[in-house]
Amino acid sequence: MTQFKRRDILKGMGGLAGLSLMGAGTLRTALAQGMASEEAWKQASGTTIQFISENTPPTTAIAANLDAFKALTGITVNITEMQLGALVQKVALDFGAGRSAYDVIYADPYQVLAPYHRGLVDLNTFIKDGQQPVVPKGIEDFIPSQLAAAGRFENADALYALPYDCPTMIWIYRRDLFEKYRDKMRQELGFDPMPTDDTTWEQYYQIAAWFSNGNASEVKYGTGHQAQQYDSLMCDFSNVLFAYGGSYFANGQQIGLYGTDSPGACQLTSDASLEAARFYQKLLKVAHPGSTSWDWTGVANAFQNGEFAMMPEWHEFAGSLESSDLKGKIGYAPLPKGPARSANLWGGTGIGINANASPEKQKAAWLFLVWATSPQTQLMGLKSQVGGGTPTRQSVYAMPEVKAASKPPTDMPNMLTADTMLIAWRDDHIGLRPKIPQWNEVDTVIFTELSKMLAGQMSPEETMQSAKQRIDRIVGA
């Protein structure tokens, strides 16, 4: 209790000192003072740290605003941005060499956290250290499902990363076309086509087929998918798999949240999984034929080019779509539900600290983590002209200016998806792939076998059987 009071006094003194030094400063600086004293922020001044990140919108925004962090802490941050695959290689080799070429790591839950969590610092070390800045509003402010999925492995105590970005798959559709043809579709299909919480995948298929049959001159096809033989195909299929009640492993949601070293036998031959595979094959038959050569970017480009009316896509594409000719014509909704639920695959990531880094650099890295994931920095990201992701904190969504920005016209286009996302991240809506160390191999099996199914080389039953056999061999079940 005494320590807490002392810290508060220090914070207050630091805040006053900071405010007097900077002439009241910006709102951001004032908020930073609320997290810690000037002294605490300056404790690693002069240190240079290396941050390796996937080339994602939040990092682009952070990179453009590093001067604010340097002014606050005196720490220089060098950011290396690259494709996720290349990042994983560099991080793996860094850990393998037992060194710290990178101090702050974009810790993808599946490719970095699960196999290499022992190489990351347990952040509780800093959270419980009274000399360090507090995580503003506590770690409870992070969206709970994201905190567990991005930050933990195998138990609910150790925390290896703070949620940093949160792309999640949702239903993105041409609202203008749905509104224009609503009555006609309702008459011909027998249901209201406007996406709601009750829309099913079967209805999605019927809407897709309706558009693909040439009923709307504006688009050639109803739906497009990211079904290239790549990670994107697994993501696209997983939405359907989970919605139908299928799963890669038993207790899938738990394995998705906390991860495990030994997931047990693969569940892809269950009745629900087989039904999902059959439906997915049927759906792709009416989809734009380009789907089998598109990843997430390819399908978004084709949507933007007016090739089809709707798609399952990462919500963060809203920013670029709302800057295109389609501005104001797009609608967002959680993905349709199957017999079990609506599942919206989450693809977020946290940032963690390399355990091989020196204590000085670890301190500097922690300061960066606190700052980079703070509500005010996330708000800055939302307003950024160079990118910026969507917040991982509940308090940001509650800010009046953010709430106001969730309706058009807006200067925060990603926020147009906010209402949808808050549903998509609920425990009963979020789709989580297995967090296991062998994920890359398992993922490759899944998208390779699915690709064979879409190419007509295997039936859904053969596909799921073959995938199960291979996955069981990989995980040793």
Residue 298 near another protein by CB under 8 A? yes
Residue list 7-66, contact with another protein (CB under 8 A): none
Please report whether residue 289 would count as binding another protein according to CB under 8 A.
yes
Closer residue to another protein in complex, CB, 371/447: 447
| Burial of 455 from C-beta contacts in 10 A (0-12 / 13-18 / 19+) | exposed
The residue from 213, 305, 323, 358 that contacts another protein (CB under 8 A) is 305
Could you tell me the smallest distance in angstroms from the CB atom of residue 304 to another protein? 10
Binds another protein (CB under 8 A): choice among 17, 66, 82, 92: 92
Of 64, 452, 459, 469, which one interacts with another protein (CB under 8 A)? 452
Dihedral (C-alpha) 87, 392, 418, 414: value to the nearest 10 degrees? -40
Q: Which of 333, 331, 242 is nearest to 280 (CA)?
A: 242
Site track 105-144 with another protein (rule: CB under 8 A), x = hit: ----------xx-xx-------------------------
**What span, in angstroms and rounded, lies between the C-alpha atoms of 49 and 37?**
21
Residue 197 burial (CB count, 10 A): 11
230 counts as binding another protein under rule CB under 8 A: yes
Rule CB under 8 A: is residue 229 a binding residue for another protein?
Answer: yes
Residue 341 within binding range of another protein, rule CB under 8 A: no
CB closer to another protein, 104 vs 454: 454
Q: Does 462 help bind another protein (rule: CB under 8 A)?
A: no
Q: Could you say whether residue 97 binds another protein (CB under 8 A)?
A: yes
Candidates 89, 124, 196, 323; binder of another protein (CB under 8 A) is 89
Residue 293 in the binding site for another protein (CB under 8 A): yes
Q: Is 292 in the site for another protein (CB under 8 A)?
A: yes
Name the residue nearer to another protein (CB basis): 71 or 92: 92
Residues 138-177 that bind another protein (CB under 8 A): none
Q: Which of 50, 53, 223, 228 binds another protein (CB under 8 A)?
A: 228
- Say what the alpha-carbon torsion angle 354, 165, 299, 249 is, to the nearest 10 degrees: 70
| Binding of another protein by 290 (CB under 8 A) | yes
Tell me the closest approach of the beta carbon of residue 230 to another protein, in angstroms.
5
CB of 294 to another protein, least distance (A): 8
Query: Interface with another protein includes 476 (CB under 8 A)?
Result: no
Query: For residues 270 and 444, which CB has a smaller minimum distance to another protein in the complex?
Result: 444
In this chain, which stretch among 68-76, 85-93, 153-161, 248-256 interacts with another protein, using CB under 8 A? 85-93
Interface region with another protein, contact rule CB under 8 A, candidates 44-52, 177-185, 200-208, 454-462: 454-462
- 398 contributes a contact to another protein by CB under 8 A: no
Question: Residue 374 Cβ, how far from another protein at the closest point, in Å?
Answer: 31
In the complex with another protein, which residue's Cβ is closer, 49 or 88? 88
Q: How far is the CB of 339 from another protein (least distance, A)?
A: 28
Residue 245 Ramachandran class (φ > 0 left, ψ -120 to 50 alpha, else beta): left
Q: Does the protein bind another protein through residue 324 (CB under 8 A)? A: no
Q: Are strands 104-107 and 344-345 parallel, antiparallel or unpaired?
A: unpaired
Q: Which of 457, 461, 473, 477 binds another protein (CB under 8 A)?
A: 457
Q: Does 346 bind another protein (CB under 8 A)?
A: no
Q: Is 278 in the site for another protein (CB under 8 A)?
A: no
- Region 168-227 residues binding another protein, contact defined as CB under 8 A: 227
Residues of this chain that interact with another protein (CB under 8 A) are 85, 88-89, 92-93, 95-98, 115-116, 118-119, 227-230, 288-294, 298, 301-302, 305, 307, 440-441, 444, 448, 451-452, 454-455, 457
